[in-house]
Amino acid sequence: MKDELIGYDGIGLSELIRKGELTALELVDLTIRRIEKVNPRLNAVIHKMYDEARRIAREDYPKAGKRDSQSPFCGIPFLLKDLIAECKGAPFNEGSRAVKGYVSKIDSELVLRYKAGGLIMIGKTNTPEFGLLPTTEPALFGPTVNPWDPSLTPGGSSGGSAAAVAAGVVPMAHGNDGGGSIRIPSSCCGIFGLKPSRGRNPLGPLFGDIASGIAYEHALTRSVRDSAALLDVSSGPDLGDPYYCKPKERPFLREVGQNPGRLKIGVLTGVPEGYGIEGPMHPDCEAAVKDAARLCEGLGHTVEEVSPSILGHTDIWLTFRKIFSSFAGHAVKYWEKELGKKIGQEDLEPLTWTVYQAGLQLTGADYLVSVEEFQRFGRKIARCFHEGGYDLLLSPTLNTPPVKLGLFKPYPEDPKKFLRLANAFAGFTRIYNLGGQPAMSVPLYWNSENLPIGVQFGARFGEEVTLFRLAAQLEQARPWANRKPVIHCGS
């Protein structure tokens, strides 16, 4: 049977439900059929919540308009990444054999807001162990493949969510981003991905921050307006949050379609020494940035190339490594306490164990010095915007197109090789994890092999508005939603 709803985004589907042209239960059943159709090839959904989703759709959304909500979403099936955000009563593994069998005891604040906004959790998506890698190949569940080419990575750590959205399973899915984990898979899979400003979305009640604020919650979507509307649903401080982000002046959804004005955009095609990116940028990624710059110029924006030196010559990669290895150590220690057991080398993947051991070598003083260094870096990025008068900085999302599955593996002869490979792949994204500014990956370019190459725009702190306005303008000028990968529900 032909899927007549394959081209709808979340807002569009919600409008059908509100009008009575579609029921939430019908949409849940349709989404289940989509998962069953493509997931055996994708391996994106690792836990199915069909019975509970059907129950909620049947009891809470039996007819149009029963649930009166300010949210633009009403009875929309949603996939939750199996990392950080918890859904009460659902298995929660974080991609790790050490955690297998755990069932969430609570809803995270983010999930509570999603549910209140009309989303129905229908499954959990695959992620690497503790979200540590820019690919999605956990030993626990096996690799998720890229729907554009199953031999390639979908990116990580939100690769399961990205693959499901790109393949048409759902119009949007949850993701989180500790070094690029929303933007990396968005680029690899040809969809839209936005990392909000620090403090925009809550991490509570279990976490105040993660690794001193390098981790962020949001989603991967096909349409810009879904991303904006979902951020309206989820954003705002929770009680006791350690970070403050200036409140929005009006709903983000209302910014979509608004004239962004004449923006000044700085173009970065490289980074200074100390970022750990080895080798030149891949020609396809360079071409994608130049293409995006021309498109922005054609839309009336001022575009100028920026020297990488404005970011400063620092050892920020070493700082990030210390923070990230401490994050791995935190994950292990957190689960030892939660599970009441010791986690040993046999419980973890080799790469996780390596990063964890590196974290154990750091002292509390080492960690605090690294936090101070990346906070200084954040101020440096802020000055780049303000002193240069830039509204946005444009760069490639990734330094290369999607790479082969299996690249990020242990190299016994060179234990740190995988870290260098990961950094060379995704060195541009972590700029905004450290700095705290919002950033988005926009799917504007496909190479000669029909692989998506995302470009990244970063904005001033708290200025998601600028990103949404430009993204909607780019989406209209060069639509991407109708592009279908090899593995797709509509094929």
CA nearest neighbour of 198 among 154, 242, 229, 143: 242
Q: 71, 96, 161, 181: which is the annotated catalytic residue? A: 181
> Would residue 19 be called left, alpha or beta, if left means φ above 0 and alpha means ψ between -120 and 50 degrees?
alpha
* 157 annotated active-site: yes
Q: How far apart are CA 179 and CA 314, in angstroms?
A: 18
Residue indicated by tokens 């649903």: 233
Spell out the SS3 assignment of 357-412: HHHHCCCHHHHHHHHHHHHHHHHHHHHHHHHHCCCEEEEECCCCCCCECCCCCCCC
Outline where 246-399 has alpha helix (H): 252-255, 283-298, 316-339, 350-360, 364-388
* C-alpha pair distances (Å), 475 with each of 64, 140, 462: 30, 37, 22
Q: How far apart are CA 235 and CA 254, in angstroms?
A: 15
Residues 6+ apart with CB under 8 A from 104: 86, 87, 88, 89, 90, 91, 92
* 186 annotated active-site: no
CA nearest neighbour of 216 among 247, 174, 159, 165: 174
Residues 6+ apart with CB under 8 A from 292: 394, 442, 444, 445, 455, 474
Q: Count of domains in the chain?
A: 1
- Report if residue 486 sits inside a domain: no
- Report if residue 482 sits inside a domain: no
- Report if residue 2 sits inside a domain: no
* 309 annotated active-site: no
- Report if residue 1 sits inside a domain: no
- Report if residue 491 sits inside a domain: no
- Report if residue 4 sits inside a domain: no
Q: Which helix (DSSP H) or strand (DSSP E) does residue 125 occupy? A: strand 119-125
Domain range for 96: 10-477
**pLDDT of res. 33:** 97
- Report if residue 483 sits inside a domain: no
CA nearest neighbour of 474 among 245, 240, 192: 192
- Report if residue 485 sits inside a domain: no
Q: Is the pTM of this model over 0.85?
A: yes
3-state secondary structure of 83: coil
**pLDDT of res. 62:** 67
Q: 14, 37, 71, 81: which is the annotated catalytic residue? A: 81
Tens-digit pLDDT string for the chain (491 aa) = 468 899 999 999 999 999 999 999 999 999 999 999 999 999 999 999 999 999 999 998 865 555 555 679 999 999 999 999 999 999 999 999 999 999 999 999 999 999 999 999 999 999 999 999 999 999 999 999 999 999 999 999 999 999 999 999 999 999 999 999 999 999 999 999 999 999 999 999 999 999 899 999 999 999 999 999 999 999 999 999 998 899 999 999 999 999 999 999 999 987 766 666 666 789 999 999 999 999 999 999 999 999 888 777 667 888 888 998 999 999 999 999 999 999 999 999 999 999 999 999 999 999 999 999 989 999 999 999 999 999 999 999 999 999 999 999 888 888 778 777 887 888 899 999 999 999 999 999 999 999 999 999 999 999 999 999 999 999 999 999 999 999 999 98
Q: What's the half-sphere exposure (Cβ side, CA atoms, 13 Å) at 39?
A: 21
CB-CB contact of 266 with 388 (8 Å): yes
Residue 443: give its domain's CATH number. 3.90.1300.10
CB-CB contact of 131 with 99 (8 Å): no
Q: 157, 187, 212, 326: which is the annotated catalytic residue? A: 157
